[in-house]
Amino acid sequence: MSLADAAVPTAAMPSGSATHAAAPTRVRGAWGRLLRSELRLVFGRRRNIALLVGLACVPLLLGTVLFVTRDSALGGQGPGFISRVTENGLFLVVAALFMCLPFLLPLTTGIASGDAIAGEAQAGTLRYLLAVPVSRARLLGIKALATLAYVACAVLAIAVVAFVVGAVMFGVGDVTLLSGTTVPVADGVLRIAGVAAYVALSLTGLVAVGLFLSTLTEVPVGAMAGTVVVAIVSAVLDTLPQLAVIHPGLLTHHWLDFAEFLRLEVGWGVLGQGLAVQAAWVAVFGALAWSRFTTADVTS
Amino acid sequence: MATTLPARQTPHATGRAGSAEPVHRADVAVDAASGMLTGVDLAVRTAGLTKRFRSGQVAVDGIDLEVPRGSVYGFLGPNGSGKTTTIRMLLGLVGPTDGRAWLLGEPMPDAAARVLPRVGVLVEGPAFQPYLSGAANLARLDAADATADPRTSRRRTGDALERVGLAAAARKPYRQYSLGMKQRLGLAAALLRPRDLLVLDEPTNGLDPQGTREVRHLVRELADAGTTVLVSSHLLTEIEQVCSHIGIMSRGRLLAQGERSVLTDARPARVVVTTTVADADRAAAVLGSLGLVDVVRDGAVLEAALGTPPETVSAALVGAGVPLLGLEVRRPSLEQLFVTLTGEGFDVAR
């Protein structure tokens, strides 16, 4: 290491000559500065970018498969919205989100939220951030915002790529709704945007769960896996009729309600219920994460 | 050195330590008492600070740390003696089970937002984002500081890197740094802005002898500029030379603290007289007549506890016609002090 020979330059910077300096004052825009730094960290990380690229490939692959098979006997088959894609490219957005929702999006959410605190703890950078100092509540808030931004970006990546691929391969026209009514293309695009927004908001509860798990451990993979397990268990419980009584409160129960946007009369009440459940999960697990993180000993 | 120390000094020393009355420098104690209750004249103060982990292990057992402003305080003790847990409590990372702590006269952790921007820290080794460069890592820490001026961020990170000799590697990813470079980046982070207090936990870990010398140089330079430095180490000799004050921890207890010279002078010095083998008996008799005790003879070399001024010893020996080939006064080293206090070698893990 050639640097070992480097002499320490003297007086390169003003040193701590003020022995009784007044308490430093807060600079305006400090929140924004840290948030920008956090976003750069999250979106600059190669793993996170690769994940976004992977998600963006889903509509590309799906579109290609449907395009190649559209004139064969298999054309027009498939669950839900997939059969409609060849008629109208806009439906590729819905179909791609529908395919990613059970596993890929929870996985993405788990990775981003599970890493938030536990990743810093594992790297040891958490103690240095807190000693800067960053208040724990503020750090948790910044981490939550950056995670939400990343998850929103993941949904957006799927939706935008699906929109482009759908438009190029199948064209975009007036949208035939679930009830059979046709609405103009501008209305259709708005409805599809509503679907994407609802899907993104549906993941906020899971973000809160992931953040909470992330405050419990110094092993980010554990928090990530735990978050995915929560989503899967919720989906499994949702299929058991014996547990019907708890279904409305389950994290994943309302996830597929985005279909409301494809009805002639959008069921705002149903959508509101879904968002209310997410808000409840955010409130409970956000509070748990806060109480845990603001009191825990940082020994990492 | 440690093994040659007369064993019977140990009961005396442990008795002293066991009396739960650490060696205090009087004027510091007065400062603490006459100042406000928060100890405004002390850069770091703790009162009965205790940490009991959930496992039941008492990592820190009621210590009263007193680090005067402007001092370089060597916080010494073997690995696992509770130094790092103490430092973590000072910084508000770990909550004490009992007792209180003040940094720069303000209570911790309540005043963390006001105090910690004035405190540079290196805790238990450097830790940074592996994928970011050294400069980007410092920029991130600076962005996290709500009281740092973003307009001067670039200049300050550059200066800090320059100061620790990392300017040439500023753009390299952190994970490609050697251990010594990582340690330097940790020091650079502590120097991101002018500080009133530096808390450096094992700052020489992983550094080569040249790097260790540079850290000592840096600490002395900062102290000369008025910064208080609390520096912990399990390697006594590495920081002994720069410390004005010493605190010795073992098994969670603060066994002694105070001004370094006062601490070491409190121990009896020994005089070593070299003469010829033929005259050794006569020399021993002279030493005995001076009232020196604990005389040990080894051939032509005599050793005794120094109870009188050394010039009296040499005058008496010469006066008695003993050929005086050498006379040395051995002040007890910190290491000896440590061994007598703890009854164990310095580098013993818990």
Reported as type and span, the H/E element at residue B62 is strand B58-63
* Chain B CB within 8 Å of residue A16 CB: yes
Residue A165, Cβ density class (10 Å: 0-12 exposed, 13-18 middle, ≥19 buried): buried
The pLDDT assigned to B309 comes to 82
Please give the residue range of the domain that contains residue A130.
29-291
* Chain A CB within 8 Å of residue B291 CB: no
Contact criterion met (CB below 8 Å) for A184 and A174: yes
Contact criterion met (CB below 8 Å) for B42 and B32: yes
Facing residues of B46 across strands? Answer: B101
Are B130 and A12 a contacting pair at CB < 8 A?
no
* Chain B CB within 8 Å of residue A45 CB: yes
Which residues from B are below 8 Å from A141, CB to CB? none
What is the pLDDT tens value at each position of chain A, 300 positions in all?
333 334 333 333 333 334 445 667 888 888 999 999 999 999 999 999 999 999 999 999 999 999 998 877 776 666 667 888 888 999 999 999 999 999 999 999 999 999 999 999 999 999 999 999 999 999 999 999 999 999 999 999 999 999 999 999 999 989 988 888 999 999 999 999 999 999 999 999 999 999 999 999 999 999 999 999 999 999 999 999 999 999 999 999 999 999 999 999 999 999 999 999 999 999 999 999 999 999 999 988
With bands split at pLDDT 50, 70 and 90, how would you rate the model's confidence at B349?
very low
Contact criterion met (CB below 8 Å) for B295 and B6: no
With bands split at pLDDT 50, 70 and 90, how would you rate the model's confidence at B34?
very low
The pLDDT assigned to A209 comes to 98
Contact criterion met (CB below 8 Å) for B169 and B154: no
- Give the model confidence (pLDDT) of B227-242 as tens digits: 999 999 877 777 778 8
The token pair that represents B49 in the structure block = 């600070």
The answer to whether position A72 is within a domain reads: yes
DSSP state of B291: T
Interface confidence, given as ipTM, is 0.85
Counting every residue written for chain B, the total comes to: 350
Determine the 3-state secondary structure of B107 from DSSP: strand
Q: Cis before residue B126, ω within 30 degrees of 0? A: no
The pLDDT assigned to B155 comes to 94
Instruction: Note which residues in 238-297 of chain A have CB less than 8 A from chain B.
Output: 295, 297
The pLDDT assigned to B23 comes to 38
What are the contacts of A269-274 at 24+ separation with CB within 8 A?
A: A271/A198, A273/A248, A274/A198, A274/A202
pLDDT at B347 over 70: no
The pLDDT assigned to A29 comes to 85
Which residues from B are below 8 Å from A41, CB to CB? 129, 132, 140
**Which residues are within 8 A (CB) of B127 and not within 5 positions of it... i.e. 6 or more apart?**
A123, A124, A125, A127, A128, B186
Contact criterion met (CB below 8 Å) for B108 and B91: yes
Instruction: Note which residues in 95-114 of chain B have CB less than 8 A from chain A.
Output: 95, 112-114
Q: In this structure, is the dihedral angle defined by the CA atoms of residues B69, B75, B80 and B81, taken in order, positive or negative?
A: negative
Which residues from A are below 8 Å from B134, CB to CB? none
Nearest CB among B147, B169, B227 relative to A24 is that of B147
Q: Would you put residue B322 in left (φ > 0), alpha (ψ -120 to 50) or beta?
A: beta
Are B128 and A132 a contacting pair at CB < 8 A?
no
Facing residues of B90 across strands? Answer: none
Contact criterion met (CB below 8 Å) for A20 and B198: no
Torsion angle of C-alpha atoms B115, B116, B117, B122, degrees rounded to 10? 150
Looking at per-residue pLDDT, the higher value among B303 and B87 belongs to B87
Reported as type and span, the H/E element at residue B326 is strand B326-330
Nearest CB among B117, B181, B222 relative to A15 is that of B222
* Chain A CB within 8 Å of residue B52 CB: no
The pLDDT assigned to A23 comes to 66
Nearest CB among B69, B93, B184 relative to A131 is that of B93
Looking at per-residue pLDDT, the higher value among A25 and B73 belongs to B73
**Which residues are within 8 A (CB) of B257 and not within 5 positions of it... i.e. 6 or more apart?**
B22, B23, B24, B65, B66, B245, B246, B247, B248, B263
Which residues from A are below 8 Å from B156, CB to CB? 13
The pLDDT assigned to B348 comes to 47
The answer to whether position A188 is within a domain reads: yes
Are B162 and A297 a contacting pair at CB < 8 A?
no
Q: Would you put residue B301 in left (φ > 0), alpha (ψ -120 to 50) or beta?
A: beta
Q: In this structure, is the dihedral angle defined by the CA atoms of residues B172, B175, B180 and B185, taken in order, positive or negative?
A: positive
- Give the model confidence (pLDDT) of B126-163 as tens digits: 999 999 999 999 999 999 999 999 999 999 999 999 99
pLDDT at B53 over 80: yes
Which residues from A are below 8 Å from B143, CB to CB? 33-34, 36-37
Largest Cα–Cα distance of chain B, in whole Å?
78
Contact criterion met (CB below 8 Å) for B153 and B180: no
- Give the model confidence (pLDDT) of B188-227 as tens digits: 999 999 999 999 998 888 788 888 888 888 888 889 999 9
Distance from the Cα of A201 to chain B's closest Cα (Å) equals: 28
The span from the CA of A136 to the CA of A294, in Å, is 6
**Which residues are within 8 A (CB) of A179 and not within 5 positions of it... i.e. 6 or more apart?**
A263, A264
The pLDDT assigned to A199 comes to 97
Facing residues of B75 across strands? Answer: B232, B247
Nearest CB among B69, B148, B163 relative to A12 is that of B163
Are B211 and A4 a contacting pair at CB < 8 A?
yes
The answer to whether position A17 is within a domain reads: no
Instruction: Note which residues in 123-152 of chain A have CB less than 8 A from chain B.
Output: 123-125, 127-135
Contact criterion met (CB below 8 Å) for B130 and B175: yes
b or e along A29-41 (b: 16 or more beta carbons within 10 Å of the residue's beta carbon)? ebeebbbebbbbb
The answer to whether position A123 is within a domain reads: yes
The pLDDT assigned to B336 comes to 74
The pLDDT assigned to A229 comes to 97
Instruction: Note which residues in 24-43 of chain A have CB less than 8 A from chain B.
Output: 24-27, 29-31, 33-34, 36-37, 41
- The letter for the amino acid at A11 is A
Determine the 3-state secondary structure of B42 from DSSP: strand
Instruction: Name the domain count of chain A.
Output: 1
Contact criterion met (CB below 8 Å) for A181 and A258: no
| Domains identified in chain B and CATH numbers | 2-265 (3.40.50.300), 270-329 (3.30.70)
* Chain A CB within 8 Å of residue B180 CB: yes
Nearest CB among B113, B143, B222 relative to A37 is that of B143
